[in-house]
Structure 1
Amino acid sequence: MYTTIISAEQLLALESSQQPYMVFDCSFDLAQPDAGLQSYRAAHIAGAVYAHLNDNLSAVGEAAESGGRHPLPLMEAFATWLSSVGFANDMQAVVYDRNGVNYAGRLWWMLKWAGHEAVAVLDGGLQAWQAAGGAVNTGIEPHKFSTNFVPAQALTALVATETVVKNLQQPNQTIIDARAAPRYKGEIEPLDPVAGHIPGALNRPFGQNLGPDGKFKPASQLREEFEALLAGRDPATVVHQCGSGVSANPNLIAMEIAGLGHSGLYAGSWSDWCSDPSRPVAKGEEK
């Protein structure tokens, strides 16, 4: 069972094993919502199912499990989608994108949230797969069957806005903001109506978890970097956030790779936080 990351070579070996598995392509572009599907049509891992951030991994309509620009769908709706593409409880899930784990991390987290332990990010994404000689297809994969995916007890913590507010700047909550430094500091804000960050939040842009090859840094290096960022704070108190609960997930995955345990996700993130003008906003660096 792979529960954090899987290499291209390990996925190639999985192809020849008897273990049931399914691969998901989560490539996306916030500025061009159709670009991810177009990239998938052009080339994807043979047999992979496309997971659209807006249509499959976010709530469509009013009912949602969280706020923000990409609200989580109701668990029932998520389970229905998984069943519709043929994903079953006994399968290993492998998720990837072309975007430095930015979007694949969302499905990784959602499957953990649905109680599914056997999910891993393809380390290095599609690029690593092609470099390893893995097969790719074009077009849309034919639909073969449906299943009955049944959610189980969550394996990760979904943190509500009310909890973040209640524990704001308390020692039992350490917020890590995964957005780029200029957005965190409030110097620019291209997506949300208010610039800045949640008071007390630390900043670690999600791309810092990857090396030049697009793969996660070694566990020992990730641990050293997160411990330096936390500066003595308990890793168990960490709540991750970003702009809309998507790019925070690579930080969460990296902490697990580093052996720092499970941490929470504030899925509504900055887009939810700044939607209420009564909530405090900080700018610049945290001292």
Structure 2
Amino acid sequence: MNAIITASELASELTGETPPVLLDIRWQLSTGKAAGEPAFDGRAEYVAGHLPGAVFVDLDAELAGHAGPDHGRHPLPDLAELGAALRAAGVRADRDVVVYDGGQGWAAARAWWLLRWTGHPSVRVLDGGLAAWQGPLETGTVTPEPGTFTPAPGATGLLDADGAAALARSGLLLDARATERYRGDVEPIDRVGGHIPGAVSAPTTQNVGPEGRFRPAGELAARFKALGATGEPGQVGVYCGSGVSGAHEVLALAVAGIDAQLYVGSWSQWSADESRPVATGPDPQ
């Protein structure tokens, strides 16, 4: 099954006998807003208007564990707590799931990756997010029939710090952050700037067009081939700042037909450990 779905395809599926479960994952990265500027409230945005039947899922509270230097800003959630949250949102193993966010795609990709990694057989991301939807919206909250999905972590698809370092030496490790953070020119969040030695800069923003929708699969495949992806299983990994935008890059790779692993701890975990090496500048090493 495709990793993404268009708004028109979703509109058609929602009229079928077994419409997909819809999860609203609206979220924004906080980098220390100016004093007095209100924090983004995804739940409030959801209540004000969402796709009909969609249920809100909180990325920070339900799709990630507690932040800390040993684990990063968005570590893996406790599986029992994740399962309870997904079942409360109506997720079942025998029913398709479609996830969306406000349009950036990062948060929806994090939900997509987690559901895939924990064994859900059919989950897709709405390409372009809420901004691509042309149908009506509904307000308020939705209380679905409880689901039955029980997360079971997969044997592949996940990297730890040592695995990421090894892949940077023997395969292809992609850094999905902005180029200036990769080079170490600026670092607005973490202890130091730079990148994992051997990692290749591949900003996730270059995977989408001006409207926030994914570039065609052939273009993405050509992009990743030029960066060094061979298509060999187990030879491509991705990291970012904290395992959110990196999930979007894994999704882009899936659209291109390339399997990839995600280093969830990412730079927020790597850079917190002063014993780990840091490379700066435009070159991988």
Whether TM exceeds 0.5 here: the answer is: yes
2:46 alignment counterpart: 40
Report SS of the residue matched to 2:21: strand
The CA deviation string for residues 57-107 of structure 1, in whole angstroms up to 9 with x for no partner, is 111489xxx821011112222111111222111111101111421111000
Report SS of the residue matched to 1:286: coil
1:53 alignment counterpart: 59
Where does structure 1 lack aligned partners over 5 or more consecutive residues? none
1:151 alignment counterpart: 151
Task: Write out aligned runs for 1:67-106 (5 A).
Answer: 67-106=71-110
What one-letter code is carried by the residue in structure 1 that aligns with 2:149?
A: F
What one-letter code is carried by the residue in structure 2 that aligns with 1:279?
A: R
Residues 1:235 and 1:209: Cα distance change in structure 2 (over 3 Å): farther
User: Once superposed, what is the RMSD of the aligned Cα atoms?
Assistant: 2.1
Instruction: Give me the TM-score of the superposition, normalised by structure 2.
Output: 0.90
Is this contact kept in 2: 1:174–1:233, CA < 8 A?
no
Task: Write out aligned runs for 1:245-260 (5 A).
Answer: 245-260=243-258
Mean alpha-carbon deviation: is it higher for 186-195 or for 35-44? 35-44
Report SS of the residue matched to 2:277: coil
Report SS of the residue matched to 1:44: coil
Mean alpha-carbon deviation: is it higher for 72-81 or for 111-120? 72-81
Report SS of the residue matched to 2:71: coil
Cα offset, 1:158, TM superposition: 1.0
2:4 alignment counterpart: 5
What one-letter code is carried by the residue in structure 2 that aligns with 1:58?
A: A
The share of aligned pairs that are identical, in percent, is: 41
Q: Structure 2: how far apart are the matches of 1:111 and 1:33? A: 27
Q: Structure 1: how far apart are the matches of 2:213 and 2:84? A: 32
Task: Write out aligned runs for 1:54-203 (5 A).
Answer: 54-60=60-66, 67-130=71-134, 134-141=135-142, 143-152=143-152, 154=154, 156-165=156-165, 167=166, 169-171=168-170, 173-203=171-201
The CA deviation string for residues 192-238 of structure 1, in whole angstroms up to 9 with x for no partner, is 11111101111111111111222111111111111111176857411
Is this contact kept in 2: 1:3–1:117, CA < 8 A?
no
Is this contact kept in 2: 1:20–1:90, CA < 8 A?
no
Where does structure 2 lack aligned partners over 5 or more consecutive residues? 31-37
The CA deviation string for residues 136-167 of structure 1, in whole angstroms up to 9 with x for no partner, is 112222x23323312346275111123224x1
The CA deviation string for residues 233-258 of structure 1, in whole angstroms up to 9 with x for no partner, is 85741111000000011211111111
2:13 alignment counterpart: 14
What one-letter code is carried by the residue in structure 2 that aligns with 1:205?
A: P
Q: Structure 2: how far apart are the matches of 1:270 and 1:240? A: 11
Q: How many residues align?
A: 276
Is this contact kept in 2: 1:185–1:283, CA < 8 A?
yes
Instruction: Give me the TM-score of the superposition, normalised by structure 1.
Output: 0.89
1:244 alignment counterpart: 242
